[in-house]
A and B are shown apart, each in its own frame.
Chain A
């Protein structure tokens, strides 16, 4: 995956570039808004990671102008601003995701990877399959090895989100945001308990685990 990092803090940008390449991606750096806009406009990137406060042209203007030119590449906004409505402003400007500094790189990586898939075709698929687990979005049924599993509505949405990002790390905050539609940071391990419930439902009686815990990052559903 090819990522464009528009960030004026040299150290942070270099760290991101290195960390992305260690995760198997390539990344370019732009140190100001003007350069970032030019590179985004001409280069062929899968995701833009844009800092909100940039010299020459601020992050939101860069995004707005790109969107104005019909560029639909997913954008993740990085921001030190965490006011109540900052996120809304950021997303309204055309951002696809919003991450407040300081953040864990694992969180950023998971979100960037999730974003790149968004532009793919998975959203329109009606049936998700991971190994012998199958989720049908239309009939709202889940089966494993042909056996039907009964899930609560929220558990269904949780599993759907995990399966849509099968093979990718999904963080706890991503789950809270996408499954519950809340953006705060819960004090305790509420998500973990939901996951372990879901896990017991889809794995009980089967040998092969599907829902894995990725230490220090989140969860991942995969077949092997």
Chain B
């Protein structure tokens, strides 16, 4: 019952109900119109035939007198499917014709009988129960005799009942067909919707690998399912990315957090020695500072990846930023025995955020100094600025060990520290932050070979403000 009421609520059911109503109304109007028209035609035909008969009979009577008339009627009355004929004297006694009995009172009124009347014919006496209905024209002859010529109503009545039966049958068939279509189409639609909602309930329940069913017919349900499935794929991909990041965060923060906890515990254990306690506490603070730094970097990357904001950018001179960063890092480089140079052909103004670019550049320079220090030959880091083909390239080139081409794309991922660099201090976020900064500036971070195929060149490629 519940299913039936659910079926009644489907769009298909409502539509088919509406169609049944419409078709029934149309069929009814059509049938009523046709039958009314044909009835009128048949009636007119009957009357014409009767009138013609009467005029023929009247002529015969005038020419040949009563005897001729009676004879003619006798002949005509015996023909198969003949009209009704009846002649009576002025007292109503039947003289001739094929009518044995007639509804009383019919002969009293001259002209067309207003209502169909009952009668029975000669030779059909055995079937008295089988009375017929007819319409007739009653005429009075000059000698006060009464002439009745009529036509049986059997045919038109039969015709009408045939039409009525056909109409009923047609309506019944239409109703049945509609109900069947309604039931099957509606049930099919209902089934599809049920399976879709069942699948989505499971997905909501946590089974994110579930997909909505696609029947392969390419109908509207399939298109809907396909689109929703594509949406689910996208959500799953984002979810997966998020999960990976949080896994990485958990992994990379767990180690320092554990270390932090151990240090705090150690500090507590060193209570008797104030100097040792103090040192342990200072290390704890340094450790938490590093943690905070990592957190800040992660937050910053997420914010930058969220998108460009025009409010945070102004016209900035990249050459000035390079000069600042090189000046800032020059003592560090010198201490590490690395020659840090700037090679600026011309100044380049772009739309950007000075702070972010300087931070990204200092991360890259920092890395370059760290990794080229101690390499064979004379360690050298060069920061260059060049304009080419609608882009401004800010490149930091070192002659350190470089990164194998196969690992380069991974180098800018969050927390990825290539195996060789595990021994170096750092959060593993430097290059990812630089990449996020470039994304924010609608540019890109390109890693390639350094000079003469040695070392690494990291290029910050900005869209040229002059072309924008």
Which residues of A have CB within 8 Å of B300? 82
Complexed CA–CA distance, A83 and B308 (Å)? 12
Q: Which of B289, B292, B309 contacts A85 (CB 8 A)?
A: B309
Contacts A102-B292, A184-B362 hold; do A82 and B299 have CB atoms under 8 A apart? yes
Interface stretch of the complex, out of A7-15, A29-37, A189-197: A189-197
Does B331 sit within 8 A of A, measured CB to CB? yes
Which B336-365 residues have a C-beta within 8 angstroms of A? 353, 355-356, 358-359, 362-363
- Render A189-224 as a binary contact track against B, CB cut-off 8 A, 1 for contact: 110011001000000000000000001100000000
Does A183 sit within 8 A of B, measured CB to CB? yes
Q: Which of A84, A186, A190, A197 contacts B309 (CB 8 A)?
A: A84
Interface stretch of the complex, out of B40-48, B321-329, B377-385, B396-404: B321-329
In the complex, residue of chain B having the shortest beta-carbon distance to the beta carbon of A152 = B327
Please give the distance in Å from B428's CB to the nearest CB on chain A: 11
Please give the distance in Å from A177's CB to the nearest CB on chain B: 11
Complexed CA–CA distance, A100 and B300 (Å)? 12
Complexed CA–CA distance, A188 and B424 (Å)? 12
A84 with B328: CB separation less than 8 A:
no
> Interface size bucket, B side?
20 to 34
Complexed CA–CA distance, A188 and B290 (Å)? 11
B282 with A215: CB separation less than 8 A:
yes
Complexed CA–CA distance, A158 and B9 (Å)? 80
Complexed CA–CA distance, A193 and B333 (Å)? 10
A190 with B296: CB separation less than 8 A:
no
Complexed CA–CA distance, A82 and B293 (Å)? 13
Does A149 sit within 8 A of B, measured CB to CB? no
Which residues of A have CB within 8 Å of B405? none
In the complex, residue of chain B having the shortest beta-carbon distance to the beta carbon of A184 = B359
- Render B413-448 as a binary contact track against A, CB cut-off 8 A, 1 for contact: 000000000000011001000000000000000000
Please give the distance in Å from B431's CB to the nearest CB on chain A: 11
**Residue among A100, A104, A180, A187 with the most chain B CB within 10 A?**
A187
A84 with B355: CB separation less than 8 A:
yes
B331 with A190: CB separation less than 8 A:
yes
Complexed CA–CA distance, A190 and B340 (Å)? 14
In the complex, residue of chain A having the shortest beta-carbon distance to the beta carbon of B311 = A85
Please give the distance in Å from A197's CB to the nearest CB on chain B: 5
Which residues of A have CB within 8 Å of B231? none
A104 with B289: CB separation less than 8 A:
yes
A216 with B286: CB separation less than 8 A:
yes
Contacts A84-B303, A100-B296 hold; do A190 and B329 have CB atoms under 8 A apart? yes
Does B335 sit within 8 A of A, measured CB to CB? yes
- Render A163-187 as a binary contact track against B, CB cut-off 8 A, 1 for contact: 0000000000000000010111111
A82 with B296: CB separation less than 8 A:
yes
Complexed CA–CA distance, A182 and B316 (Å)? 14
**Residue among B286, B324, B328, B362 with the most chain A CB within 10 A?**
B328
B332 with A193: CB separation less than 8 A:
yes
A104 with B285: CB separation less than 8 A:
yes
Does B75 sit within 8 A of A, measured CB to CB? no
Does B236 sit within 8 A of A, measured CB to CB? no
Does B366 sit within 8 A of A, measured CB to CB? yes
Main DSSP-derived SS at the A contact region: loop
Contacts A84-B303, A104-B289, A182-B358 hold; do A187 and B331 have CB atoms under 8 A apart? no
Please give the distance in Å from A213's CB to the nearest CB on chain B: 12
Which residues of A have CB within 8 Å of B327? 154
Complexed CA–CA distance, A182 and B289 (Å)? 19
Which residues of A have CB within 8 Å of B332? 188-190, 193
A184 with B366: CB separation less than 8 A:
no
Complexed CA–CA distance, A205 and B257 (Å)? 45
Complexed CA–CA distance, A184 and B355 (Å)? 7
B303 with A182: CB separation less than 8 A:
no
Q: Which of A84, A102, A190, A216 contacts B353 (CB 8 A)?
A: A84
Does B312 sit within 8 A of A, measured CB to CB? yes
Complexed CA–CA distance, A41 and B356 (Å)? 37
Which residues of A have CB within 8 Å of B282? 215-216
Complexed CA–CA distance, A215 and B278 (Å)? 11
Complexed CA–CA distance, A215 and B309 (Å)? 39
Complexed CA–CA distance, A189 and B356 (Å)? 19
Complexed CA–CA distance, A82 and B285 (Å)? 22
Sorted nearest first, the 5 A-B pairs with minimum C-beta distance are A184-B359, A193-B331, A84-B312, A85-B312, A187-B366
Interface residues of B (CB under 8 A from A): 282, 285-286, 289, 292-293, 296, 299-300, 303-304, 309, 311-312, 324, 327-329, 331-332, 335, 353, 355-356, 358-359, 362-363, 366, 370, 426-427, 430
17 contacts between A and B (CB under 8 A): A82-B303, A83-B303, A84-B303, A84-B312, A85-B311, A104-B289, A182-B359, A183-B355, A184-B355, A184-B358, A187-B362, A188-B370, A189-B332, A190-B331, A215-B282, A216-B282, A216-B285
Interface residues of A (CB under 8 A from B): 82-85, 100, 102, 104, 154, 180, 182-190, 193-194, 197, 215-216
